[in-house]
Structure 1
């Protein structure tokens, strides 16, 4: 058993696909499959159930995964600690973010971080706030940026509130309300909306605002990404409510303030355990102090 085999197993588990895992690991699928099979033979148990349609962990695989992840993290820490002893931070920094993060100029922060710590490998993953909380909690991400309704408290992680911001109505330029300087929810209630999935944090603040105003609205289209929302609004399929700080980058659409509109709170979350040296350096760049790693 070696660390590379553990990486392959982790990649298959996270992607639910030998093909995508091989692409992530930059290896031929046949070679990755061979290494996983060798590990399964050594362990005396199958780690994955494979069918033509899907790949999923067996009971043995579910038992193996946490220990494999801990072993890989320990190896990363060991390399990072050796580098730190020579005055250099190495290792891996894995971040997550909602697509509409605005409280932090993330590209600028990553540029500054890369200049200070060029030997750290950086991975940035996009996702919903709910997914990001889960991935930070189980160690797949070092830190993540969320956008959630007021009062939302992510569980099982440490967090810092970064900013409050209001939503605006995003309209096609020929929409009848596009010439308004300001609107309220009563004026928008009869419109067709393009929004995120019901029950998601990305949509919750809008639903809560309409409920507080004792109004009902029709979400005609539920989509999974903000890019698709914008394209659908551009084609006149509906209107959207999006954070004002994010919409400053939109072109060719009309963004109208809402007097009693939804409020979004942005959070930074990170592991409740001692962060790695690479993660601690990133948090420090954002003004967050953490104890040094002792692992």
Structure 2
């Protein structure tokens, strides 16, 4: 058994297709199939159930896959550590980001990082703050930009606070409150709302604010992306509470939207988060670009630190 066979198994497991897996690994399909078959003979188990139309992991294959990924990650880390010892930064950096990040210009940051460390393979993943935090803890992500309700910092990861923000009311132009200097939650509790899905951190911030005020609201439309939320609002289908730092630049170029301050609205904290356990050279290099590298060096492997 060798590392290449493990890479082939992971590729087939992720693509569920031998042809696409071979393309990903830059080999001919017959060679990939032969190497996996040889591995199965060596192990004495079938890793994949195959038919003319489907490829699925067997229970033995699923068990092998976890270990194979760990071995490949360890091998990649060994190569990256060896390069770092000579001053070179290589390897892979997995970055997570919420769709409403405003404290950091992520594309500009990635451009600067690539210019400084062109040998690092960077991957970007968007998602919810809770999902991204869990992905850091289980090793799927190296670093992430999060947004969470005030007083609820992410757990089990190192963090730096990037910004504090408050939500504003987003209404269609011409709405009865469009020109109001400020509103309170009780003024808008009877409105129909557009919001993120129930249970997500983006939604929780507003739900908690209304609950704290003893108010109940109706969320008529749920959406996973801000672009859909603002389009629904512009059509007069509802209103929303969104982070001001994120929505202000978007609303400035959209005459169909108006923003109104909310006196008792939700507050959000944006965080930079990364694993507190032995950050990779690529991760430490990103923290240096962000200006928090010294803290990473002090806290790597240490216990909890306040956000």
TM-score bucket (shorter structure): 0.7 to 0.9
Tell me the matched-pair count. 293
CA distance in 1, matches of 2:213, 2:19: 46
Structure 1 segment 151-190 matched on structure 2, within 5 A = 151-190=151-190
In the superposition, the TM-score normalised over structure 2's length comes to 0.83
Q: Give the unaligned 5+ runs of structure 2.
A: 302-307
1:148-198 CA distances to partner (integer Å, 9 max, x unpaired)? 112223233222222211011112223222222222111111111111111
Residue 254, structure 1, aligned to residue 254, structure 2: no
1:52 & 1:8 partners in 2: Cα distance? 19
Aligned residue number for residue 97 of structure 1: 97
Cα 1:171–1:119, aligned 2, differ >3 Å: closer, same or farther? Answer: same
Q: Name the SS for the 1:113 alignment partner.
A: helix
Choose which of 257, 265, 270 in structure 2 pairs with 1:266: 270
Bigger Rg over Cα: 2
Partner of 2:304: none
Please give the TM-score of this superposition, normalised by the length of structure 1: 0.86
Q: How far does residue 231 in structure 1 lie from its aligned partner after superposition?
A: 1.9
Tell me, in whole angstroms, the C-alpha distance in 2 between the residues paired with 1:50 and 1:40. 13
What residue in structure 2 maps to residue 233 of structure 1? 233
Tell me: CA distance 1:74–1:264, structure 2 relative to 1, closer, same or farther (3 Å).
same
CA contact (8 A) 1:101 1:147 kept: yes
The aligned runs of 1:116-155 (5 Å cut-off) are 116-155=116-155
C-alpha displacement of 1:42: 4.0
- Is the 8 Å Cα contact of residues 144 and 270 (structure 1) preserved in structure 2? yes
Say what the alpha-carbon RMSD is for the aligned residues: 3.1
Q: Structure 1 residues 240, 73: CA separation in 2 closer, same or farther (over 3 Å shift)?
A: same
Report how far residue 137 of structure 1 moved: 1.2
Segments of 5+ residues of structure 1 without an aligned counterpart are none
Contact 1:45 1:60 (C-alpha < 8 Å) held by counterparts: yes
Deviation for aligned residue 1:102: 1.2
| 1:260–1:9 Cα change, 3 Å | farther
